Structure 1
Amino acid sequence: MPNPHRRKFLAETAIALAAAPFISTGATREKSRQARKLGVAICGLGRLSENQIAPALQKTTHCRLAGIVTGTPAKAAAWQAKYGIPDRSVYSYDTMHRMADNPDIDIVYVVTPNALHAPHTIAAAQAGKHVFCEKPLEISVERCQSMIDACRKAGRLLGTAYRCQYDPHHLECIRLVREEVFGKPTIVQAGFAIDVGEPTQWRLKRELAGGGALMDVGIYALQATRYLTGEEPVLVSAIETRTDPVKFAQVDETMVWTTKFPSGVVAYCSTSYKAGRIQNLRVNAERGWFELDPAFFYDGNHGRRSDGKEIRFPEIDLFAAEMDDFARCILENRPTKVPGEEGLRDVRIMQAIYESARTGRAVALG
């Protein structure tokens, strides 16, 4: 008598053998997709690109430096010699449209002055490339929206370079709030100040920068209050001061602002191009507090908690981390946690901060 169990085994084995080539092919394709490194062209070869972004690309798992965009031929030659970039992958700002014919480039990382982010992002998107853009996304809500629209129309991803959202120290602070380890937050304090340096740079020109300390480094404090609370502010009030009206004739030198969130949390923030050492983030909650100091550096961030524990994690390259995550989003066809819309929201709030400082009145946010 035939054995029904044996018949079942043979049938299942036959099905499995028939399917094996497809399973193998699918697994191979998935492995190949994950192993592929996306080509990144850096648009703008200033100090951040030279000292942070290009070196970080050498550490990434899913990216590689594949091209450059610059208006300075001498810089192009130096970068080509250093990184072996071929002539076909070197562009000027006026020839970015030619990237459409270059399959080696998948992503354009825009690192030009703030008010040039829109034209360079739009050019990259129209050439069929994904765009990762330095913060602030642009200098107005309208220009941010034009970038979002261009990338959406092209079917390409737009990300905003918010590196602190990849810092393990900041992620731990978010966890402490979400899990209410010290109860619900009540007050958030955040500040970041730097010595901006020489007075002829583009950061001190309103036409290119859109603003001063707030747009440049204050945005880190603003971002932190939003991703810590998980809320959008409903009211802002700000005061601006200048001690050097010549150097800071066009942009803000020092800005202090408060924001109110729907849950009742109040944030107190400050930023300056001249105020010395401000680099902290602190959350006061119902049953304790925690803080990072320094909070916004490229490395060396760490903190402590009211229960005596440290907030300290092994250092990572934040630029490599954010670029790898953006590449994975493209490879896996999923959204980024730092989309263009996130950048637009910060710009909208910063515009309200400037309005409050100018009028002396609190500004409601819808």
Structure 2
Amino acid sequence: MKSRRDFLQKITVTAFSIPLVSSLTPGVLARSTSFEKNDKVLRVAMMGLGSYANRVADAMKDCKRAKITGVISGTPTKIKDWQSRFNIPAKNCYNYGNFDAILNNPDIDAVYITTPNALHHSQCLRVAAAGKHVICEKPMAINAKEGREMIEACKKAGVQLLIGYRMHFEANTKEVVRMRRDGEFGKIMFFQGLSGFIIGDPTQWRLNYELAGGGAMMDIGIYSINGARYMIGEDPIWVTAQEVKTDPVKFKEGVDETITFQMGFPSGAIASCLSTYSMNYLDKFYLNGIKGFAEMQPSTGYGPIKSATHKGRLDLPHVTHQTTQMDEMAAIILDGKIPMIPVDGEEGWKDMVIIDAIFEAVKTGKKVEIKYV
């Protein structure tokens, strides 16, 4: 595969040849939102039917406000399987070449994009042009420029753009953020984020620069970036970063294996983080303030999240993250609900601005000032 453009052309040609397939606090419940049976339901088409799409779809079986009503895929056998599992009619099944036709499909309100990172931008623009809301997995794009174009396209089309930040709805995470906002930790001084695992199959798309736009930082390091922002409650204004690569065959040019990075915030707080594809058991957040602390390990895994503060353990009840996420996103789109921690396009764009700065810091070896423009 010579370039991203080659891939996009290849997938489009292939797609056109595929026919349509026939046929919060301790003591309260983890899911604080109650939904009435007569509330409107968000009808969602899943785009890209890989492992994560399956995880989301299975979790949505327990949703009260969201349901799977359509699919978009380049693989006919996957479409057939999903039709059977979720009772999806043939008229709601599309491929990558013809999904613009969702414009005329009243059974679909939103499209959840779970394809490789490099495809998010073009697919988001097409979904927005079709008048459907966009839910896009993180990272929202491969750089901040693409992210901004996605935001503007959705604004122009009058649809919402939400990013799949499932942790923003997780009970332990929300409780720690509440405590920080209420001043229970005092002035925040330091955050540590450790995000990593040993990646397997060397041929997967996550290790292909043309599809992933990077390596571990795009996939797992973004959790520490985003976590630092919502735990501290600020956006960083500078970053320094260092890269270590022990296997240049597996981790080719542009595909980062391990990056350590440091961020500075307007209040003076600092963050020290690690993103890696070559070490296991790295899923930890630690927040330090002058009056107390919070720690979470695991902090962003599928759960249950384990958490504690200077006041004792939290470990609030576990609910499948994607179930809560999709019910809450339905409330955002259908009811105008404002989430405790943002999940809109601007939130995703800020993470891309920071990732761009981290890559620049790695390349130059210099401290990079971050400007959100």
SS of alignment partner, residue 109 of structure 1 = strand
What is the distance in 2 between the residues matched to 1:348 and 1:152?
20
1:204 corresponds to 2:207: yes
2:278 counterpart residue number: 274
Shift of 1:157: 0.5
1:298 corresponds to 2:302: yes
What is the distance in 2 between the residues matched to 1:212 and 1:288?
35
Shift of 1:126: 1.0
Conserved? CA contact 1:34–1:331, under 8 Å: no
Alpha-carbon deviations, 1:45-99, whole Å to 9, x = none?
000011x111111111111100000000111111112211111000001111110
Conserved? CA contact 2:284–2:299, under 8 Å: yes
2:53 counterpart residue number: 49
| Residue type at the aligned position of 2:48 | G
| Residue type at the aligned position of 1:63 | A
Q: Closer, same or farther in 2 for the Cα pair 1:247/1:305, shift >3 Å? A: same
Off by >6 Å, runs of 4+ in structure 1: none
Alpha-carbon deviations, 1:235-267, whole Å to 9, x = none?
100001011110001300001100000000000
| Residue type at the aligned position of 1:225 | A
Alpha-carbon deviations, 1:322-349, whole Å to 9, x = none?
2111111222245662111111110010
1:352 corresponds to 2:343: no
SS of alignment partner, residue 248 of structure 1 = coil
What is the distance in 1 between the residues matched to 2:259 and 2:176?
25
What is the distance in 2 between the residues matched to 1:330 and 1:262?
32
1:242 corresponds to 2:237: no
Conserved? CA contact 1:33–1:331, under 8 Å: no
1:21 counterpart residue number: none
Alignment: residue pair count: 334
Conserved? CA contact 2:239–2:358, under 8 Å: yes
Shift of 1:285: 1.3
Shift of 1:182: 2.8
SS of alignment partner, residue 138 of structure 1 = coil
2:369 counterpart residue number: 364
What is the distance in 2 between the residues matched to 1:231 and 1:267?
11
| Residue type at the aligned position of 1:254 | T
From 105, 110, 126, give the equivalent of 1:107. 110
1:174 counterpart residue number: 177
Q: Name which one, 1 or 2, has greater alpha-carbon Rg.
A: 1
| Residue type at the aligned position of 1:189 | Q
What is the distance in 2 between the residues matched to 1:34 and 1:40?
18
What is the distance in 1 between the residues matched to 2:209 and 2:150?
20
2:322 counterpart residue number: 319
Conserved? CA contact 2:241–2:260, under 8 Å: yes
2:268 counterpart residue number: 264
What is the distance in 1 between the residues matched to 2:288 and 2:41?
42
2:120 counterpart residue number: 117
SS of alignment partner, residue 343 of structure 1 = helix
From 283, 290, 297, give the equivalent of 2:287. 283
Q: Closer, same or farther in 2 for the Cα pair 1:77/1:176, shift >3 Å? A: same
Q: Provide the identity percentage.
A: 38
SS of alignment partner, residue 171 of structure 1 = helix
1:138 corresponds to 2:174: no
SS of alignment partner, residue 162 of structure 2 = strand
Conserved? CA contact 1:182–1:288, under 8 Å: yes
Question: What is the root-mean-square deviation in Å for CA atoms of aligned residues?
Answer: 1.5
Higher mean C-alpha displacement, 271-280 vs 108-117: 271-280
1:98 corresponds to 2:90: no
What is the distance in 2 between the residues matched to 1:156 and 1:34?
24
Shift of 1:321: 1.4
Q: Closer, same or farther in 2 for the Cα pair 1:68/1:169, shift >3 Å? A: same
Segments of structure 1 that go 5 or more residues without pairing to the other structure are: 1-30
From 210, 217, 223, give the equivalent of 1:214. 217
Conserved? CA contact 2:189–2:289, under 8 Å: yes
1:37 corresponds to 2:66: no
Once the two structures are superposed, the pairs formed by residues 177-196 of structure 1 within 5 Å of their partners are 177-196=180-199
Segments of structure 2 that go 5 or more residues without pairing to the other structure are: 1-34
